[in-house]
Amino acid sequence: MTQATQKIQLDWGMCRPNTWCPLSTVDLDHEAFGTGGVYVIWHGGTPARTVRVGQAAVIRDRLASHRDDPDIQAYQRQGMLYVTWAQVSAGQRDGIERYLSEQLQPLVGERYPEALPIPVNLPGG
C-alpha cells in the first residue's frame, strides 16, 4: 500500500466524550486550539451539512474569525453550528484539507489546496 492510499487516523476534538462543540461557545482559549491542524464546521439541521473545511497554523485564530464570518454564520438558521478539529503537521495539512473538502463538499469555501489528497477518517466516522 502506498502512502497516498493509507488512511491516517485523526483524533477529532470534542467538548466532552460524544459531545460536539458549538462554534459560538467553544472555549478558544483552551490549549487544544493553540496548535496547528485542520477543522470542520457544520450545521446540525436536517440533513446536517458541512459548512466549512479549513486549516491553520493556530486553529483558534481561524475559528475566531469564522465566528464573525457572515457567509458561515448564515447557516446558523439551518441548525446550530458545530466544530471539530484535529492536530496535523504542517506538511500534511494541504493534502488532508483537500481530502476533507472533496469528501464533505462544504457549502462555504472559495479555494482548496492544490495538493494530492491525503485520506483520513472523517469526523464521527
Residue 115 and residue 125: Cα distance in Å, rounded? 23
pLDDT at 4 exceeding the cut of 90: no
**Confidence category of residue 125, pLDDT binned at 50, 70, 90:** confident
How much is the pLDDT for 113? 87
% of the chain surpassing 70 pLDDT: 96
% of the chain surpassing 90 pLDDT: 89
Section 28-32 average pLDDT = 95
CATH of 1-125, one of 3.30.2320.80, 1.20.1260.10, 3.40.1440.10, 1.10.260.40: 3.40.1440.10
Residue 51 and residue 100: Cα distance in Å, rounded? 12
Residue 38 and residue 13: Cα distance in Å, rounded? 11
**Confidence category of residue 2, pLDDT binned at 50, 70, 90:** very low
The whole-chain average pLDDT of the chain stands at 93
Strands 21-22 and 49-56: unpaired
Domain spans of the chain, in order of start = 1-125
What pTM was estimated for this model as a whole? Answer: 0.93
Residue 38 and residue 49: Cα distance in Å, rounded? 17
53-112 residue pLDDT tens: 999 999 999 999 999 999 999 999 999 999 999 999 999 999 999 999 999 999 998 778
How much is the pLDDT for 5? 64
